[in-house]
């Protein structure tokens, strides 16, 4: 009797679990509706993860930026009042109706993969005045053709009159790696490039951005991972917040070249001016500009510089059609090499461009600190190497750093002694190769411990 009761109880329990699971699944596959603020309603399709917001005016979302979990950087939002924030739901698409003019919280924008802005959404106002809410902009974002404030052209967001560049999509790509800002654009708004370009794993292929002569003002932007930014207007106003510290994240090597300037802007204090080059090429009476990396790591194979030549209007010229390049036949080993560039179609003056092949960057495998010692270990690096150089200090920019030179190409470790036990250390190591009395150094490897 007892066994029968146990079996019956187990059967009821299993059936109740199956029934509750089916009920939950059914509940999830429905459309949730409700009111937000005055005159604003929402409809959330839990199956497709689509949130539609309609009404007239701004959408108000109450966000508590102070009440959050210790491990979370995201603010707390009430998932009972705003059910799409529930952990069980996908958040795929957000659709603003034509009567919606704006939103008070960037949290609403940040959590959806795709956004459609309706005709009434004042993107110009919100991006210029509250640009922090619009960091997220990709090629999947769409805009009503009737929108009165902005215009979408090939995934790039501009003001309606095409005089302001508002947002560049983080996932946009191009086979040539160059984005030409259209002529007629006068102002590049703050965070137009948003700090996401190539830096977020989105697959963006852009290496260069060219701003035409019509651009008169460039506000603070973060051109992460770009090789060069080219400003064709020598009188273009560079905002005071366009300096090295604000313009870039550190440890990048982007260059900004402005026509008419002898100096270039660099993104990091750790980048040597010779690490990249953005030098003018002059073919007879016509000025061309060459963008190319000046330093290359040793690979054991012939190195061919990735060189792009633009005319004075920023148009990319074609090799063999507009100019010719002559490279040394052998360009494998560490040393200095020369490219001879010669223009065609009446511009036949030859220009010499130097580039360098350097030892490979050191690959550090271990950093151990014990007592007053720090021990570094790195992979075997003897190919095309004469020795190593180590610098260390307790300050970030390594001012007054102590230097250790290792004159042994087979070395794979070094112990730094007499370290202050109570202080944090910044260390960098590089390899060098001596060729005909000249030392060629690899790029630094940075370590903190």
Q: What is the pLDDT of residues 121-136, one digit of tens each?
A: 998 887 765 554 555 6
Q: What is the pLDDT of residues 323-360, one digit of tens each?
A: 888 999 999 999 999 988 888 766 667 888 888 999 99
What percent of the chain stands above pLDDT 90? 32
Identify the bridge partners of residue 229 per DSSP, sorted by sequence position.
Answer: 209, 256
337 exposed, middle or buried (CB, 10 Å; 0-12, 13-18, 19+)? middle
The whole-chain average pLDDT of the chain stands at 76
Q: Are strands 350-358 and 387-393 parallel, antiparallel or unpaired?
A: unpaired
Q: What is the pLDDT of residues 238-273, one digit of tens each?
A: 554 434 333 333 334 566 667 666 555 443 333 333
What percent of the chain stands above pLDDT 70? 69
Give the residue carrying structure tokens 């040394």: 328
- Say if residue 310's pLDDT is above 80: no
Higher pLDDT, 32 or 284: 32
Higher pLDDT, 68 or 381: 381
Closest to 430 measured CA to CA, from 400, 394, 406: 406
Element (H, E) at 2: helix 2-28
Residues in the chain: 449
Q: Which two tokens stand for residue 40?
A: 């604003």
Q: Which two tokens stand for residue 100?
A: 């919606």
Cα–Cα distance list, 101 to 55, 56, 117, 118, 420 (Å) = 9, 7, 9, 8, 59
pLDDT at 337: 94
pLDDT at 41: 93
- Say if residue 142's pLDDT is above 50: yes
Stretch 149-168: mean pLDDT, rounded?
Answer: 91
257 neighbors 289 (Cβ within 8 angstroms): yes
Query: How many Å apart are CA 114 and CA 198, to the nearest integer?
Result: 19
Query: How many Å apart are CA 134 and CA 110, to the nearest integer?
Result: 8
pLDDT at 295: 83
CA angle 152, 158, 161 (to 5 degrees): 105
Q: Are strands 373-378 and 413-416 parallel, antiparallel or unpaired?
A: antiparallel
Q: Which two tokens stand for residue 331?
A: 């360009």
Q: What is the pLDDT of residues 15-36, one digit of tens each?
A: 444 444 333 333 445 888 988 8
pLDDT at 1: 53
């Amino acid at each position: 009797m007892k066994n029968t009761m146990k079996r019956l109880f187990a059967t009821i329990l299993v059936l109740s679990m199956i029934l509750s699971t089916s009920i939950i699944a059914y509940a999830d596959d429905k459309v949730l509706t409700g009111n937000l603020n005055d005159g604003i309603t929402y409809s959330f399709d839990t199956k497709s993860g689509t949130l539609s917001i309609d009404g007239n005016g701004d959408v108000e979302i109450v966000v508590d930026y102070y009440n959050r979990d210790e491990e979370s950087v995201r603010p707390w939002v009430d998932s009972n009042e705003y059910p799409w924030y529930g952990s069980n739901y996908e958040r795929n698409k957000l659709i603003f109706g034509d009567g919606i003019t704006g939103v008070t919280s960037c949290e609403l924008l940040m959590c959806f993969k795709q956004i459609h802005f309706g005709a009434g959404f004042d993107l110009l106002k919100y991006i210029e005045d509250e640009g922090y809410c619009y960091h997220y902009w990709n090629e999947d974002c769409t805009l009503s053709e009737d929108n009165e404030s902005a215009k979408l052209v090939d995934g790039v967001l501009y003001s309606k009159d095409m005089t302001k560049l508002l947002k560049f999509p983080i996932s946009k790509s191009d086979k040539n790696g160059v984005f030409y800002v259209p002529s007629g654009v006068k102002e590049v708004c703050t965070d137009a490039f948003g700090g996401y370009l190539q830096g977020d794993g989105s697959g963006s292929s852009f290496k260069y951005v060219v701003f035409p002569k019509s651009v008169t003002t460039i506000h603070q932007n973060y051109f992460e991972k770009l090789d060069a930014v080219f400003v064709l207007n020598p009188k273009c106003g560079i905002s005071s917040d366009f300096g090295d510290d604000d313009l870039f994240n550190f440890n990048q090597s982007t260059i900004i070249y402005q026509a008419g300037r002898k100096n270039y802007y660099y993104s990091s204090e750790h980048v040597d001016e010779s690490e990249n080059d953005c030098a003018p090429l002059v073919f007879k009476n016509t000025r061309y500009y060459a963008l190319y990396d000046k330093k290359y790591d040793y690979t054991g194979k012939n190195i061919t510089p990735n060189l792009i030549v633009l005319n004075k209007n920023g148009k990319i010229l074609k090799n063999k059609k507009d100019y010719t390049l002559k490279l040394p036949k052998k360009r494998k080993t560490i040393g200095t090499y020369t490219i001879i560039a010669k223009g065609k179609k009446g511009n036949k003056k030859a220009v010499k461009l130097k580039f360098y092949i350097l030892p490979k960057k050191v690959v550090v495998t271990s950093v151990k600190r014990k007592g007053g010692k720090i021990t570094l270990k790195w992979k075997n690096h003897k190919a095309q190497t004469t020795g190593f150089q180590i610098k260390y200090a307790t300050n970030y920019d390594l001012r007054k750093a102590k230097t250790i030179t290792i004159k042994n190409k087979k070395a794979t470790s070094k112990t730094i002694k007499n370290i202050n036990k109570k202080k944090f250390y910044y260390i960098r190591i590089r390899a060098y190769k001596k060729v005909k009395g000249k030392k060629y150094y690899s790029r630094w490897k940075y370590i903190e411990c």
